[in-house]
């Protein structure tokens, strides 16, 4: 009796409801399903005079009893590992249309559906229903509109300004002249020097933070790595191979790499508090700095981001072609045109529908957390109040995540299923469900509070330790412990990421209690581990990673990292659209693609940094400095 109860309890606790699901299919059965992706030859199609190429997403329908269809439905129910095999993505060439030369009156959808109906009926005894179609014969061309003209002119003016300023600098520039003229701000030569400048090691307050540059750069490269795998999931020629990746525990480090963003959040909280305390040594803390610092940050973050956004919304339309273009870029362009104002106000992470520059959720969340952190900083000026407020908010943050997960029945972490990765790059409205966990927990700012608080706490502590000149010689005696401080958090952090592979098991979805527990604890613990690592590095306790991260070249990569973060998804989308055949999913091909994307992202972020980020930054600083004295002091401290 009691063991039966225990069994029932265990079942209820560990697994939710169970239903008829097929977890595994052997090769023969797998091949009985219609191919997920199938593309007629694109170039050949368009080379015919009347050839029209349509890419279409459609569903299969059964009208007679059909065992293959039932198998597909049951196989697709295991959503965490399998594609939905009843939703297919094909490229169809229409060329035998002798009496249909007028494209504007021709019902392409009807023709394509008839073709598919016919072939699916003869092969699988199935019918089809098209949900989305886009056709092209290479002849259509987008007209320039007013937005293109405005953005084009603005970019041209910006480039001209830089060019003129660079020439002025070359001819009139005087190395010895200390007071900078206007053209110094825009001169490419000056800004190039600033890009190549080594890290300022003379400032004892900033010197320990050098390793953060390396950490940030490495994390940036990892983020780009994760995003380059997206196009392969959109369309490839062997989906079975990708579905099998989910059985490999090591690949779960890749699928759960969403945790990496928590480290960025910790660093961001840390820098806010540490820098703010240093700058407030010389002036009074007052609420006036809240709007001022917010404005400063907005002005600092916005120019490069706005350039990418504007170009995506306007000129990006004209560069694209190919069968995957509508799939990988169409919705982004449409959403950027519609929602750009939300992006410029950094509130788009609270809007559910936009597919525009999807990676920028972090910039928005960071901006909101910055304001939140600054309010806490201003409200709690005594150590005692901080000791109460910070832990309180830490636990409130955890409770918020738990409540979201429990009440809305979400996943323990963002589950990167084949069908979720695809909408990550494209959302067809009302058709594909975007992962609610991604929308409601991952990218909102109030659900990322715990790690930000951890970072803030570390900022207070480090400032305090520096002030009292904390002596760590006692700890340094334990060599083994110090050595472990580096690898241990990384290994444990990876362990937490791999633990999420539990949610991908060949079993019914785990119970909501378990998911809630994981959601509430995993990120804070992960954040805590990396806070320890960061503290150990800046206190010079840890020497394994610190020596790597303090490499001089990282400071250049770190400067470019914001631009690279903004630009890399656009590059991925563009290169993905250049392909006319399904993507190759071998490891070798993906490594090549990754290195290519990484190099191109970094190279393209150099002009963006030189022409936009740095000049604008310096101009705003100059303007804000002349408008107040406090920043002047701040500048001096930074220069010291
Ligand atoms: C695959 O599984 C089916 C039943 O699910 C079985 O009839 C068939 O023989 C299997 N094929 C191979 C090659 O094992
Ligand atoms: C798969 O797609 C079909 C068609 O859109 C849908 O009806 C079905 O619910 C999906 N299956 C799962 C498990 O989401
Ligand atoms: C094209 O014309 C032929 C005869 O002129 C006709 O039989 C056929 O149905 C037409 N095709 C379509 C798609 O209308
Ligand atoms: C195609 O159809 C449009 C609209 O129905 C019409 O204006 C145009 O003249 C037609 N073109 C040809 C070549 O028939
Ligand atoms: C294809 O088959 C479906 C289901 O029988 C039907 O509803 C649809 O009208 C067919 N499409 C065409 C173009 O014949
Ligand atoms: C949470 C939230 O604010 N959701 C809104 C996001 O924006 C869309 C429209 O842009 C609204 O429909 C949602 O309610």
Which of 309-318, 353-362, 390-399, 506-515 reaches the highest mean pLDDT? 390-399
How many angstroms separate the alpha carbon of residue 115 from the centre of ligand 5?
10
382: Cβ below 6 Å to ligand 1? Answer: no
SS3 262: helix
pLDDT band at 51 (very low <50, low <70, confident <90, very high): confident
Is there a contact between 426 and 327 (Cβ–Cβ < 8 Å)?
yes
67 vs 171: CA distance, rounded Å = 79
Ligand nearest to the CA of 129: 5
Q: Is it the case that residue 124 has pLDDT exceeding 70?
A: yes
Atom from ligand 1 closest to the CA of residue 29: 1
Name the CA dihedral angle for 567, 573, 577, 581, rounded to a multiple of 10 degrees. 130
Is there a contact between 422 and 531 (Cβ–Cβ < 8 Å)?
no
Atom from ligand 2 closest to the CA of residue 77: 13
Q: What is the pLDDT of residues 68-116, one digit of tens each?
A: 999 999 888 888 888 888 888 888 888 766 555 555 566 788 888 888 9
Contacts of residue 635, defined as CB under 8 A and 6 or more positions apart, other chains included, come to 621, 625
Query: In testing the pocket of ligand 3, which one of 52, 99, 113 has its CB within 8 Å of the most ligand atoms?
Result: 99
Residue nearest to atom 14 of ligand 1 (CA): 26
Pocket of ligand 5 (CB under 6 A): 61, 63, 110, 113-114, 117, 127-128
Which of 33-37, 132-136, 200-204, 341-345 reaches the highest mean pLDDT? 33-37
Query: In testing the pocket of ligand 5, which one of 56, 69, 117 has its CB within 8 Å of the most ligand atoms?
Result: 117
User: Where is 442: in which H helix or E strand?
Assistant: none
Place of tokens 């709007």: 291
pLDDT band at 634 (very low <50, low <70, confident <90, very high): very low
Residue nearest to atom 2 of ligand 1 (CA): 26
Is there a contact between 397 and 447 (Cβ–Cβ < 8 Å)?
yes
Q: What is the pLDDT of residues 429-484, one digit of tens each?
A: 334 456 777 777 787 888 899 999 999 999 999 999 988 888 777 777 787 888 88
What integer pLDDT is reported at residue 630 of this predicted model? Answer: 45
Pocket of ligand 6 (CB under 6 A): 350-353
Atom from ligand 3 closest to the CA of residue 99: 1
One-letter-per-residue 3-state SS of 409-437: CCCCCCCCCHHHHHHHHCCCCCCCCCCHH
What integer pLDDT is reported at residue 454 of this predicted model? Answer: 94
Is there a contact between 243 and 83 (Cβ–Cβ < 8 Å)?
yes
481 vs 542: CA distance, rounded Å = 9
Atom from ligand 1 closest to the CA of residue 27: 13
Q: How far is CA 299 from the centre of its chain?
A: 22
Report residue 346 as tokens: 């950094």
Greatest alpha-carbon pair distance for the chain in Å reads 93
Higher model confidence: residue 141 or residue 410? 410
Q: What is the mean pLDDT of the chain?
A: 83
* Mean of pLDDT values over 361-381: 91
**Burial of residue 514, with CB atoms counted within 10 A of its CB: 0-12 exposed, 13-18 middle, 19 or more buried:** middle
Q: What is the pLDDT of residues 538-560, one digit of tens each?
A: 888 888 888 889 888 898 999 99
Q: C-alpha distances in angstroms, 140 versus 2, 328, 349?
A: 72, 19, 34
What integer pLDDT is reported at residue 638 of this predicted model? Answer: 37
Q: What is the pLDDT of residues 188-210, one digit of tens each?
A: 888 898 888 888 888 888 888 88
SS3 129: strand
Ligand nearest to the CA of 115: 5
How many other CB atoms are found less than 10 A from the CB of residue 333?
22
330 vs 326: CA distance, rounded Å = 4
How many angstroms separate the alpha carbon of residue 348 from the centre of ligand 6?
9
Enter the DSSP assignment of 105.
T
Report residue 78 as tokens: 């295991």
């Amino acid at each position: 009796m009691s063991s039966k109860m225990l069994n029932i309890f265990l079942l209820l606790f560990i697994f939710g409801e169970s239903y008829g699901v097929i977890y595994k299919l052997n090769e023969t059965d797998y091949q009985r399903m219609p191919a997920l992706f199938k593309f007629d030859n694109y170039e050949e199609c368009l080379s015919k005079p009347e050839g029209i190429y349509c890419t279409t997403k459609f569903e299969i329908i059964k009208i007679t009893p059909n065992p293959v269809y039932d198998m597909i439905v049951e196989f697709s129910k295991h959503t965490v590992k399998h594609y939905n095999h009843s939703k297919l993505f094909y490229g169809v060439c229409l060329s035998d249309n002798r009496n249909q030369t007028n494209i504007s009156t021709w019902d392409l959808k009807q023709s394509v559906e008839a073709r598919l109906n016919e072939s699916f009926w003869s092969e699988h005894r199935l019918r089809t229903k098209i949900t989305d179609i886009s056709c092209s014969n290479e002849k259509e061309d987008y007209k320039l509109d007013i937005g293109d003209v405005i953005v084009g002119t603005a970019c041209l003016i910006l480039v001209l300004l830089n060019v003129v300023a660079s020439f002025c600098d070359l001819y009139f520039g005087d190395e010895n002249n200390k007071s900078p003229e206007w053209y110094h701000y825009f001169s490419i030569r000056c800004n190039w020097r600033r890009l190549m400048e080594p890290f300022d090691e003379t400032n004892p307050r900033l010197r320990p933070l050098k390793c953060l540059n390396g950490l940030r750069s490495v994390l940036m490269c990892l983020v780009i790595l994760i995003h380059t795998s997206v196009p392969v999931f959109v369309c490839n020629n062997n989906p079975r191979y990708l579905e099998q990746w989910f059985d490999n525990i090591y690949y779960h480090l890749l699928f759960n790499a969403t945790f990496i963003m928590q480290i960025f959040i910790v660093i961001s909280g840390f820098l806010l508090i540490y820098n703010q305390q240093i700058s407030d040594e010389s002036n009074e803390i007052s609420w006036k700095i809240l709007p001022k610092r917010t404005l400063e940050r907005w002005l600092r973050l916005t120019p490069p981001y706005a350039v990418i956004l504007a170009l995506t919304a306007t000129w990006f339309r004209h560069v694209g072609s190919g069968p995957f273009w509508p799939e990988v870029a169409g919705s982004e362009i449409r959403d950027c045109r519609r929602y750009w104002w939300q992006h410029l106000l950094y509130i788009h992470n609270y809007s559910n529908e936009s597919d525009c520059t999807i990676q920028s959720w972090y910039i928005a969340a960071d901006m909101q957390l910055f304001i939140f952190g600054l309010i806490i900083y201003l409200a709690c000026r005594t150590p005692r109040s901080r000791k109460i407020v910070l832990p309180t908010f830490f636990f409130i943050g955890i409770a918020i995540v738990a409540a979201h997960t429990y009440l809305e029945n979400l996943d323990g972490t963002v589950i990167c299923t084949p069908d979720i990765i695809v909408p990550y790059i494209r959302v067809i409205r009302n058709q594909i469900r975007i992962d609610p966990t991604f929308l409601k927990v991952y990218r909102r700012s109030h659900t990322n509070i715990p790690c930000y608080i951890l970072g803030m706490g570390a900022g207070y502590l480090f400032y305090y330790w520096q002030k009292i000149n904390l002596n760590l010689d006692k700890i340094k005696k334990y060599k083994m412990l110090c050595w472990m401080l580096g690898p241990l958090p990384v290994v444990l952090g990876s362990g937490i990421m791999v633990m999420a592979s539990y949610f991908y098991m060949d079993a019914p979805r785990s119970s909501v209690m378990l998911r809630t527990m994981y959601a509430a604890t995993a990120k804070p613990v992960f954040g805590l581990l990396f806070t320890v690592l960061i503290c150990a590095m800046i206190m010079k306790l840890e020497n394994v990673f610190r020596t790597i991260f303090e490499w001089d070249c990282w400071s250049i990569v770190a400067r470019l990292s914001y631009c690279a973060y903004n630009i890399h998804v656009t590059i991925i989308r563009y290169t993905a659209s250049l392909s006319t055949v399904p993507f190759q999913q071998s490891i070798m091909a993906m490594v090549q693609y990754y290195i290519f994307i990484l190099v191109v992202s970094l190279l393209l972020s150099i002009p963006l940094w030189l022409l936009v980020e740095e000049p604008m930054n310096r101009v705003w600083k100059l303007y804000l400095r002349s408008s107040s004295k406090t920043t002047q002091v701040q500048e001096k401290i930074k220069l010291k």
